[in-house]
A and B are shown apart, each in its own frame.
Chain A
Amino acid sequence: MGALTLTQVTKSFGRTDVIKGVDLHVDDGEFCVFVGPSGCGKSTLLRMIAGLEDVTSGDVAVDGTRINDLAPAKREIAMVFQSYALYPHLTVRDNMGLALKQAGVPKPQIAQATDRAGAMLALDALMERRPAELSGGQRQRVAIGRAIVRTPKLFLFDEPLSNLDAALRVQTRIEIAKLHRDLGATMIYVTHDQVEAMTLADKIVVLRAGRVEQVGRPMDLYNDPDNTFVAGFIGSPQMNFLKSGKLGLSSETLGIRPEHLSLDHGASMEPGRIPGRVSHVEKLGGETLVYVHTEDHGLLTVRLFGEQDYAVDEAVGMRLDPTRVFHFDAEGKRLR
């Protein structure tokens, strides 16, 4: 009871095409994350599903019913905004209950629903406060509570964690994941942060310039990207791209993740060894990131386990794990 289907959906503002024909199916109960760089159209797409933006052409359907022309309130959706968007003049309880009140639900039922959502999000003690008296994290929980109360077919999240500090972001991310397990509802989540995408999603949709680049489970995208854009966008630090020609290979570009490069000291010239100089070292305790400048391929990143001793300007050499490389053609498409 909450499957979303987009069919050839487009959106133009005047002459600018923002969404250029998106086809997508999200199953009932799935957690789907739209991810992409800023300006890729992911928020616009979400707002089109919500009914806050008109669809220029194509169909948006929930459970097989076309909802293009329904008002946002009639679509049985709930949305959580980046800026919380709580009503400043209402208490936490009234903020959460407003949609039900508008829909004409009797008062005792509203109280029951808000109490349940309050308990779920540990907001019990704050029900009579106003948004101005709450901290950022509490406000975002109220915003999520407001969405839960409506028991919608679709939850829409528009970068809900961007305004929170790092520690709270991790905590709220876990809460959202838990919420998804408890409610089993369909959720569409927009973010530009690929870590959020990887950790939350059942299905990731990578968008670029209004087009879907690839759809898949997080590990499928990580281990089997379709093109250089997805390969570069998913995974942190970014995948290294090397010039295949310099390595004597036929493809245009060769991609390898930082953890699949091995590093050793010294400047010797052996076949298969890529020489370079250390330009920067980041020690994170659990892992060490070494940035190596190479003559042929520019700056490459190597991720090493644990603490490693490499000095800046030291001559080093790298080896590729040949089973973990990806080949791409001149347009950036993957060669399989």
Chain B
Amino acid sequence: MMSTARHSPLRSLAAHGILLGYTLIALFPVFVIVVNSFKNRRAIFADPLALPSAETFDLVGYKTVLAQGDFLQYFLNSMTVTVASLFFVLLFGAMAAFALSEYRFRGNLLMGLYLALGIMIPIRLGTVAILQLMVASGLVNTLTALILVYTAQGLPLAVFILSEFMRGVSADLKDAGRIDGLSEYRIFFRLVLPLVRPAMATVAVFTMIPIWNDLWFPLILAPSEATKTITLGSQVFIGQFVTNWNAVLAALGLAIVPVLVLYLIFSRQLIRGITAGAVK
């Protein structure tokens, strides 16, 4: 790290203090979930902030989760929906962004605005219409229904961010490709996409987390046992009168893991992209 004279130790201490404080606040709920998922029921209520000790340590939550319901299936469903939606959002988003940033055609600006409009209008406003559509096309209780909805939900932001980044890719590079006889698809996949990889990672992270966490659409479009996602699956432990907190916390604790792995993959890309640009 380069240190300049303007950076006084006091200032950097303050900056670190603020950032550390924020990190603590942000991670605290996660910490509480993970810690309590390893404790017995009484210990959870007696002292929610205590770490599990020899007598309060209990894996009953995890046992319940793994015994009851088909949690592996739920995980798989969530994973399928998230990864497939992410793939389509990135593919179609990047292609639309390339078209908007690269080609001059009538209505280019209007098309861009139309595609960006989705950022401002929440997709849940159309839930009834979406449900009718899915019923009519026989897609209720399929993962396809969720993937379609999430792809639509993720596209506006993806197009918006990626088209800005693609405008920054050297026009000469694309022209050089054209003169060398590369097809527009090769130019898009081989020249442009690798150069906007940091932006793709950003979009991936912003798209992935709401999809993984969503309860609304799985509940409405795919509540069957075979298509339940992990968020919906965890709800079986929350009852109107009794809630199995051990199981809920364990399920949530487990649900964090895959999304964390995905996040780590993308954030590595993100950081690599940033440093590659800075060092060059």
Q: Point out residues on A near B: beta carbons under 8 Å.
A: 47, 50-52, 71-74, 77-79, 81-89, 98-99, 102-103, 132, 146, 158
Q: What are 6 contact pairs spanning A and B, CB under 8 A? A: A72-B181, A82-B172, A85-B172, A87-B176, A88-B194, A103-B181
Set A50, A52, A85: member contacting B170, Cβ < 8 A: A85
- A85-B170, A87-B173 in contact; A78/B191 too (CB < 8 A)? no
* Cross-chain contact A72 with B190 (CB below 8 angstroms): no
| Residues on B with beta carbons closer than 8 Å to the beta carbon of A81 | 172, 175-176
Give the residue name and chain of the B residue nearest to A73 (CB).
Answer: B181
Q: When the two chains form their complex, are residues A79 and B176 in contact, meaning their CB atoms are under 8 A apart?
A: yes
CB contacts (< 8 Å) of A103 on chain B: these are 181
Set of chain B residues within 8 Å of A102, measured between Cβ atoms: 180-182
A102, B178: Cα distance in complex, Å: 11
Query: A89-B194, A132-B280 are contacts. A78–B179 as well, Cβ < 8 Å?
Result: yes
Q: Which of B155-199 contact A (CB under 8 A)?
A: 170, 172-173, 175-182, 190-191, 194-195
Given contact pairs A51-B179, A87-B176, enumerate 8 new A-B contacts (beta carbons under 8 Å). Answer: A71-B181, A73-B181, A78-B179, A83-B172, A84-B172, A85-B176, A102-B182, A158-B172
Q: CB < 8 Å: which of A51, A85, A146 contacts B173?
A: A85
- Which of A78, A83, A85, A86 has its CB near the most chain B CB atoms (within 10 A)? A85
Question: A158 — nearest CB in chain B belongs to which residue?
Answer: B172
Contact of B190 with A89 in the complex, beta carbons under 8 Å:
yes
Contact in complex: B172, A99 (CB < 8 Å): no
Return A236 CB to nearest CB of chain B, in Å: 28
Interface residues on B, range: 10 to 19
**How many residue pairs at the A-B interface have CB separations less than 8 Å?**
62
Q: Which of B175, B179, B181, B195 is within 8 Å of A88, CB to CB? A: B195
Complex CA distance for A320 and B170, rounded to whole angstroms: 50
- Shortest distance between the CB of B12 and any CB in chain A (Å): 31
A43 to B280, CA, bound (A): 28
- Chain B residues within an 8 Å CB radius of A51: 178-179
Give the complex CA separation of A47 and B176 in angstroms.
Answer: 11
Give, as a whole number of angstroms, the nearest-CB distance from A276 to chain B: 47
- Taken together as a complex, chains A and B put the C-alpha atoms of A74 and B170 apart, in Å, by 23
0 or 1 for each of B260-280: is its CB under 8 Å from A? (1 = yes): 000000000000000000001
A77: B residues at CB distance < 8 A: 179
Q: How far is the CB of A215 from chain B (nearest CB, A)?
A: 26
Closest Cβ neighbor of B177 among chain A residues: A87
Which has the most chain A C-beta neighbours within 10 Å: B181, B182, B194, B280? Answer: B181
Query: What residues of chain B lie closer than 8 Å to A73, measured between beta carbons?
Result: 178-182
A146 cross-chain contacts in B, Cβ below 8 A: 176, 180
Could you tell me the distance between the alpha carbons of A231 and B208 in the complex, rounded to whole angstroms? Answer: 63
Residue among B172, B182, B280 having the largest count of chain A Cβ atoms under 10 Å? B172
Q: For residue B175, which residue of chain A has the nearest CB?
A: A52
A83 to B176, CA, bound (A): 11
- Inter-chain CA distance A83–B170, complex, in Å, is 8
Chain A: minimal CB distance from B195 (Å): 7
User: Which 5 A-B pairs give the minimum distances between C-beta atoms?
Assistant: A73-B181, A102-B181, A85-B172, A81-B172, A99-B180
Bound Cα distance A102, B183 (Å)? 10
**Most chain A Cβ neighbours within 10 Å, of B175, B176, B182, B190:** B176
